[in-house]
Structure 1
């Protein structure tokens, strides 16, 4: 039986990866800052991390924070994984980290490079944004009386459960390097996604497209964060909304 450590194992993605692997009968350890017996802050490292990795065959690295610290956390994890003779490190990244000059994306790209140069067997999967994040962003924007949208920007949201299935499968295979990106089933303009969100939540808001400035906005406008050639996801944004809110009728 394979022993697998899932970092960020209580998060949106990590908890689903953990559930998939346990359902298949694998010994899965969950590492997060507040979950015993492997309550570890990866940014600090320490003896707790060594204990969490003892006897582990594979690590699925889902822990991440837009607030910073990902590179330091990865350095601690890689050093401890080497010490523990871990055979496979699987990492979830984001489509466009090498194109979109957003600070969080740059940090994810830097972690990719750390893993590639780690000397460990590794697999990296890049996915487009989860439905959950798109809904969260639209929910924040909809708090205003007018819903302001980035003009000319599209997205390709993917169902997080499908990404969890893919990560779980990759963790049970041999190290595969950088695998094909995983995108949602549709490239959708933000206005289309906003319309779907407002219908599902029963809200009415005027939609106003706003042109922004800067390299990051240009990269999003040109689709640097999209994977139209890898639209392998099945679940649509409307199906996501129906499952969580129950109102997607026109």
Structure 2
């Protein structure tokens, strides 16, 4: 007699990455429970439960019958707190695999939100719950939002030395779903896009796709963060896995 696979609990299941990863888990035959700030009716075989990770409310009940947690929820503040609350409940519930999405450069770039990501990584690694962490590069969607915002200015600011390896969220979703369905693997190779771009290159590609022109003005990012970006600390130039879809492919779909 074949046992039914236990439920996968997904935080951030309605976000950019979660909305792509959840269907992949369903296609693999797993029951999925998504944490949401507000209760919702089940849809497409996915259960939604109201939980506040920052306050730690509702987590214990949400983990009933769960053996794997995919932690995708994140924001500019509070990732470390939310992760501590989740880990505490997962340990109590006997979760057997906790999978986390982090950011390339979390251990090297001195920005507050990246420090919170690194703190979350450490909380998971020291939790006693078997774990897997994947660090991904900046998604194409976020890169597009950034250049769209800058393109609204009469002059496009280009921070000198800033390079990015934007990765397609669909490639990240495929990898994180694969890791979730597999065994705990610790810190796995980073996942980046197939090319490294200067911000000016990304801007020119976007402006060309939109049929726009903007003069570009070089800027210097000050302080420790500026030195880290100029040194390429936000990049993984060796040993990373790479996605298939390029920035140009993404622009053609979204803008061109």
TM-score bucket (shorter structure): over 0.9
Residue of 23, 29, 39 corresponding to 2:27: 23
Aligned residues: CA RMSD: 1.1
Residue of 210, 215, 226 corresponding to 1:206: 215
Q: TM-score if structure 1 supplies the norm length?
A: 0.95
Paired residues of 2:160 and 2:218 also in contact (CA < 8 A):
yes
Which residue in the other structure is 1:85 paired with? 94
Q: What SS does the aligned partner of 1:30 have? A: strand
Report the Cα offset of residue 212 of structure 1: 2.4
For 2:37 and 2:159, how far apart are their aligned partners in 1? Answer: 35
Which residue in the other structure is 2:37 paired with? 33
For 2:241 and 2:206, how far apart are their aligned partners in 1? Answer: 21
Which residue in the other structure is 2:247 paired with? 237
Report the Cα offset of residue 35 of structure 1: 4.4
Paired residues of 2:189 and 2:241 also in contact (CA < 8 A):
no
Q: Deviations over 1:190-248 (max 9, x none)?
A: 11111011112222111111122111011011110111222511111011011112x2x
Paired residues of 2:168 and 2:245 also in contact (CA < 8 A):
yes
Paired residues of 2:60 and 2:89 also in contact (CA < 8 A):
yes
Q: Deviations over 1:131-169 (max 9, x none)?
A: 111111111111111000111111000001100110000
1:94-105 alignment, distance < 5 Å: 94-105=103-114
1:75 equivalent in alignment to 2:79: no
Residue of 23, 28, 53 corresponding to 1:42: 53
Q: TM-score if structure 2 supplies the norm length?
A: 0.93
For 1:105 and 1:162, how far apart are their aligned partners in 2? Answer: 22
Q: What SS does the aligned partner of 1:19 have? A: helix
For 2:229 and 2:36, how far apart are their aligned partners in 1? Answer: 32
For 1:231 and 1:75, how far apart are their aligned partners in 2? Answer: 28
Residue of 220, 228, 236 corresponding to 2:229: 220
Residue of 93, 115, 119 corresponding to 2:128: 119
Report the Cα offset of residue 32 of structure 1: 2.1
For 2:133 and 2:241, how far apart are their aligned partners in 1? Answer: 18
For 1:212 and 1:91, how far apart are their aligned partners in 2? Answer: 30
Number of equivalenced pairs: 244
Q: What SS does the aligned partner of 2:65 have? A: coil
For 1:64 and 1:83, how far apart are their aligned partners in 2? Answer: 22
Report the Cα offset of residue 86 of structure 1: 0.5
Q: Which runs of 4+ in 1 moved over 6 A?
A: none
